[in-house]
Amino acid sequence: MCGIVAYIGTKPAKDLLLEGLKRLEYRGYDSAGIAIINGGLKVARTIGRVAGLEALVENDADFDGSIGIAHTRWATHGEPSERNAHPHSDDLKQGYGIRVVHNGIIENYATLKQYLQEKGHSFTSDTDTEVLAHLIGELYDGNLETAVQSALREVTGAYAIAVICEKEPDVLVVARKGSPLIVGVGQDEYVVASDSSAIVAHTTQAFLLDNETVARLTRDSFRTTTVDNVELTPEIKELEYSLEQIELGDFEHFMLKEIHEQPNTLRTCMQGRIDAAGSKIVLGGLADHSDELTQIQRVLLLGQGTALHAAMIGEYLFEGLAGVPTEVEFASEFRYRNPIVEERTVAIAVSQSGETADTLAAVQEAKRRGAITLGAVNVVGSSIARETDAGVYLRVGPEIGVASTKAFIGQVAVLTMLAAYIGRRHHLGRDEMSDLMYAFEEIPSHIETILAQSEHIHKVTKGVVNRDNWLFLGRGTNYPVALEGALKLKEISYIHAEGMPAAEMKHGPIALIDKGMPVVVVATKGSQYEKVIGNMEEVRSRGGHVIAIATEGDENIHKHCNDAIFVPDVPEPLQPLVTVVPLQLIAYHAAVLRGKDVDKPRNLAKSVTVE
Ligand code: AGP
């Protein structure tokens, strides 16, 4: 998804906007652009990275104005090109010097485009956003705010926009519906952005724009209204994140930093929520729903990508610990199926960003069908957090690397606590719960032990990094871990990888195995250990190169694999919290060894805010 940033104040806008774009670049990096009013309108756009845009304008004094908008793109409508880069303009012939940057999708843009073409408008790009800019121009009568309000009443879809107009050099108008937008409130200045990472360097005071809300900002005042011009009073709050949390520090990549942050972010996620001695879980965010959660009869887990893999682990935990029938769904499929949602169903949305459009729409669908909706979400105040009835924040801090790591551990940890919380209200015994929680509290230090093996994992990866097809196998809760390992490798190293239940391999995929093909098998001690060993032998007998994730002290494993990476011995329900870490590092080292851009993998974006 795109990143937008805008500024009105007393400082030169150019550098501030470029810095903001760099912080938002993980949201999309197909093209970048900036528009600043400095006497007249100055616009620059380029295909590719923000660095290219910076090179275009850094020594250009024309861009020294104190009001501007900027954008980094993840292409949806119209290929990555300068022509399709934002900001987009109203009609150049009959226009008013209006420029728009947009994150989201205008669904009815084709109809609006035809209407405007019949009115004589001519378009220069293939984007939906340019249509919105032209519509604002078409409705402009000297008041940018009302033109934006009127235009937004005509559009369907999702938008976060920032708009400036050459004729009103002291006014910045922003609006949102669906896509996130935050307004940072400073001294005689406002910094507006898709997320707080582009704001915290300037102010920690901000307000979130609600859905279908427009804000008119001048240097010393702001006004927020609905698109129907009903005045609103937003609540200004302290921003969640600090600047150093979003700095790279001594790490080469945010992904590696976030992998190494996992022991501490897991401690923060657990803090004040686990009472092992008292065999209790405390989740303040659920207090109002405690009775309902005691009576639930079915759990629905919803998510996409890595969040879906965490939800799949949740399915084992809710059935294993709570004894409640549980289903896990691709949110995008649940949304359009005719799902049967019986009474006393709780639908849990799992999401790092809290902005994934597929998952948000599935929450709205589950709600419409009568389910209690909960969120296991990382970003505070995000759309899913606001849409669900209640929830539990992951508290893992900002996740900048596009490949999700610490948020996955946070999601599995929260689902473990949720399952135990509901379990104690169903069948989970006091002692069983205590034992599990004591073991749970040990996980952060276990992860530290695994991180210390990064060099060994690098060596194991280097041995097979030139192979273009890999398999990942696991059983039970380690099956979704295998899926997650394959996803991490695919998304940052572009190696084709497939994860599957170990038993499924011999029903077809085993045909893929040839001499030296890397097959990563999660083979930790547990109820299915012997079965997994059998699967490893099936791979070896076809010449596959087996990399085993095994339990510390399991010397037997060496007989069945080419390489072994050991993790501490933990109870089976908690194993995903340790077995995934070596797979994160394998993917990371493979991507670095293959010279890939780890934090900004091609074609991807950190949160996908369109369906
Ligand atoms: C994971 O590394 C990817 N970035 C992606 O699959 C992600 O998990 C998915 O888009 C869901 O995002 P969310 O957790 O923000 O909802």
14 touches 57 (CB < 8 A)? yes
| Ligand 1 contact via 356 beta carbon (within 6 Å) | yes
Q: Quote the tokens at residue 255.
A: 């992904």
Q: Work out the percent of the chain whose per-residue pLDDT is above 90.
A: 88
Place 91 in a pLDDT band, splitting at 50, 70 and 90: confident
607 CA from centroid of ligand 1 (Å): 6
Q: Kindly report, residue by residue over 529-580, the tens digit of the pLDDT.
A: 999 999 999 999 999 999 999 999 999 999 999 999 999 999 999 999 999 9
Q: Is the pLDDT of residue 451 over 90?
A: yes
State both tokens at 50.
């923000």
* 152 SS3 class: helix
pLDDT value at position 55? 96
Q: Using most ligand atoms within 8 A of CB, pick from 301, 404, 603 the residue to mutate for ligand 1.
A: 404
Ligand 1 atom index nearest CA of 403: 2
Position 611 pLDDT exceeds 90: no
Q: CA nearest 27: which of 601, 492, 592?
A: 601
User: Using a 6 Å cutoff on CB, does residue 385 contact ligand 1?
Assistant: no
- Residues catalogued as catalytic: 2, 606
pLDDT of residue 86: 97
The structure tokens listed for 336 are 């359009």
Q: Which of 308, 487, 607 to mutate to test the pocket of ligand 1 (most atoms within 8 A of CB)?
A: 607
- pLDDT of 239 over the 90 cut: no
Average pLDDT of span 121-132: 95
For ligand 1, say whether the CB of 609 is within 6 Å of any of its atoms: no
Q: How high is the pLDDT of residue 245?
A: 72
pLDDT band at 607 (very low <50, low <70, confident <90, very high): confident
User: Distance of alpha carbon 572 from its chain centroid, rounded?
Assistant: 28
DSSP 346-394: EEEEEESSS--HHHHHHHHHHHHTT-EEEEEESSTT-HHHHHSSEEEE-
Instruction: Determine the length of the chain.
Output: 611
Which ranges of 203-304 would DSSP assign to H, the alpha helix?
Answer: 254-270, 290-295
pLDDT tens figures, 195-235: 999 999 899 999 989 889 999 999 999 999 999 999 999 99
Angle value at C-alpha 135, between 131 and 137, nearest 5 degrees? 120
Please give the Cα distance from 231 to 214 (Å, whole number): 10
For ligand 1, say whether the CB of 224 is within 6 Å of any of its atoms: no
With 90 as the cut, is the pLDDT of residue 525 above it?
yes
> Residue 163 pairs with which residues in a beta bridge?
100, 173
Q: What is the mean pLDDT of residues 402-427?
A: 95
Residues 348/375, Cβ–Cβ less than 8 Å: yes
The CA-based angle 180-390-371, given to 5 degrees, is 100
For the cut 90, the answer to whether the pLDDT of residue 395 exceeds it is yes
| pLDDT tens, position by position, 498-512 | 999 999 999 999 999
What pLDDT is stored for residue 246 in this prediction? Answer: 78
Instruction: Tell how far the Cα of 145 is from the centroid of ligand 1, in angstroms.
Output: 35
Identify which of 501, 467, 468, 495 has the alpha carbon closest to the alpha carbon of residue 483: 501
Ligand 1 centre distance from Cα of residue 239 (Å) = 23
Q: Which residue has the tokens 């194993």?
A: 575
Q: What is the pLDDT of residues 325-342, one digit of tens each?
A: 999 999 999 999 999 999
pLDDT at 78 over 90: no
| DSSP code of residue 503 | G
Backbone angles phi, psi at 133, to 5 degrees: -60, -45
Element at 373 (helix H, strand E): strand 372-377
* In the predicted structure, residue 93 carries a pLDDT above the cut 80: no
State the DSSP code for 401.
S
